[in-house]
């Protein structure tokens, strides 16, 4: 196939659970779904764009605007070992590298739902994939959902992937 | 790849415009997007499930519950030439056949948004793709959107694909 690869943006975030380091269950699921159901064995026809939006009031973090495309790109980070958002990206970049699909990963600061929509305008992916906790209507009122906002406002096709039922933590608002 | 193909259900409907026979602009766009951006050259790893829901008060139509998987399956229909819903399916099945991706196509009667969600439960696709006219909030109030309903209620991941801006007819509620 001669045409440009399909560029799939996957929004990833950290787990809310202390005993569950790095990716949230739902963003890991969204990422794995993309590989299993879309990319499949056709790794050369896809590029995965991994965006992590750090909420502003988290601890100081200066790695905004760097782009990471291979596991080696994280070497310096490991020495300083202070930027936990990069450990998150490293997890996903490593996985892309293992299966041989091209990727780019970066961090932005701000309100995740708004920054994701801004980045869609800037980067123009073919598709945005967002994980979802699959909460009921009542639960959503209190915790909000990034996916629902993006479905409504992002200027590209959006797919939300729910966690599998057997992955739901004891408090379903956790992720 | 040894695993089962990714099963993508595409909901298709007829154009509302008299001079635009058969597929609506938005369902054709949703179908083409699926081929161009997901299936790409990897035809053996996907199966396209084409569902057309006929609104009940349209003219008499008995082809419910037949499944069509190749252009030959439409031969008998052409002789009787009365079932316009089948011409619609034939368009999409032909296209799948040309590019070599497996498909199944069938017709159901009822309220499209509800029947699509019922068929998702019955058929269990990996993904549902629905076209969208991309109307503004005010326009939606009057014409309703099948896609928005499916995003909320269908029990599988859903992606809505908007028409390209240059495909919008003079009355944007047309399709």
Confidence of residue A63 (pLDDT cuts 50, 70, 90): low
**What average pLDDT does range A80-95 have in this prediction?**
78
3-state DSSP assignment of residue B14: strand
Lowest mean pLDDT among A20-24, A139-143, B53-57, B162-166: A139-143
Assembly ipTM:
0.83
A34 pLDDT above the threshold of 70: yes
Instruction: Say whether residue A162 is in contact with chain B using an 8 A CB cutoff.
Output: yes
A64 pLDDT above the threshold of 70: no
What pLDDT shows up at residue A76? 67
**What average pLDDT does range A143-165 have in this prediction?**
85
What pLDDT shows up at residue B143? 52
C-alpha distance from B48 to closest chain A C-alpha (Å): 13
Determine whether the interchain pair B127/A37 forms a contact, defined as Cβ–Cβ distance below 8 Å: yes
C-alpha distance from B123 to closest chain A C-alpha (Å): 17
Judged by CB atoms within 8 Å, which residues 109-138 of A form the interface with B? 126-127
The dihedral of CA A165, A170, A171, A175: what is its sign? negative
**What average pLDDT does range A11-16 have in this prediction?**
90
Domains of chain A, first to last = 6-167 (3.40.50.620)
What pLDDT shows up at residue B87? 84
A84 pLDDT above the threshold of 70: no
What pLDDT shows up at residue A82? 46
Chain A hits for B38, Cβ within 8 Å:
6, 38
Closest residue in A to B158 (Cα–Cα): A159
What pLDDT shows up at residue A77? 60
Could you read off the pLDDT tens digit of each residue along chain B, which spans 175 residues? 458 999 999 999 988 887 777 899 999 999 999 999 999 999 999 999 999 998 875 555 555 677 888 888 887 665 544 466 788 899 999 999 999 999 999 999 899 999 999 999 999 999 999 998 876 655 555 555 888 889 889 999 999 998 887 888 888 888 8
Q: Give chain A as a DSSP string.
A: --SPPEEEEEEE-B-S-TTS-SB-HHHHHHHHHIIIIIITT-GGGEEEEEEEEEPTTSSP---TT--B-SGGGGHHHHHH---HHHHHHHHHHHHHHHHT-EEEEEEEES-HHHHHHHHHHHH--SEEEEEE----HHHHHHH--HHHHHHHH-SS-EEEEEPPGGG--SSTT--
User: Shortest CA distance to B102 belongs to which of B51, B150, B44?
Assistant: B44
A160 pLDDT above the threshold of 50: yes
What pLDDT shows up at residue A112? 93
Among the partner residues A42, A157, A159, nearest to B42 by beta-carbon distance: A42
Determine whether the interchain pair A162/B157 forms a contact, defined as Cβ–Cβ distance below 8 Å: yes
What pLDDT shows up at residue A62? 57
What pLDDT shows up at residue B62? 57
What pLDDT shows up at residue B82? 47
What pLDDT shows up at residue A48? 98
């Amino acid at each position: 196939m001669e045409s440009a690869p399909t560029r799939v943006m996957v929004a990833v975030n950290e787990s809310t659970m202390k005993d569950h380091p790095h990716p949230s269950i739902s963003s890991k699921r969204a990422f794995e779904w993309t590989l299993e159901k879309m990319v499949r064995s056709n790794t050369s026809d896809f590029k995965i764009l991994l965006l992590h939006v750090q909420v502003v009031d988290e601890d100081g973090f200066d790695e905004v605007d760097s782009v990471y495309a291979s596991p080696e790109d994280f070497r310096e980070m490991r020495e300083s070992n202070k930027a936990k958002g990069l450990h998150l990206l490293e997890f996903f970049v490593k996985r892309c590298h293992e299966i041989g699909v091209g990727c780019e990963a970066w961090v932005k600061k701000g309100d995740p739902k708004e920054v994701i929509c801004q980045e869609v305008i800037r980067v123009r992916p073919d598709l945005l994939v967002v994980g979802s906790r699959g909460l009921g209507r009542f639960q959503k009122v209190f915790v909000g959902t990034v996916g629902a906002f993006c479905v409504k406002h992002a200027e590209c096709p959006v797919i939300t992937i729910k966690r599998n039922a057997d992955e739901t933590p004891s408090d379903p608002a956790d992720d």
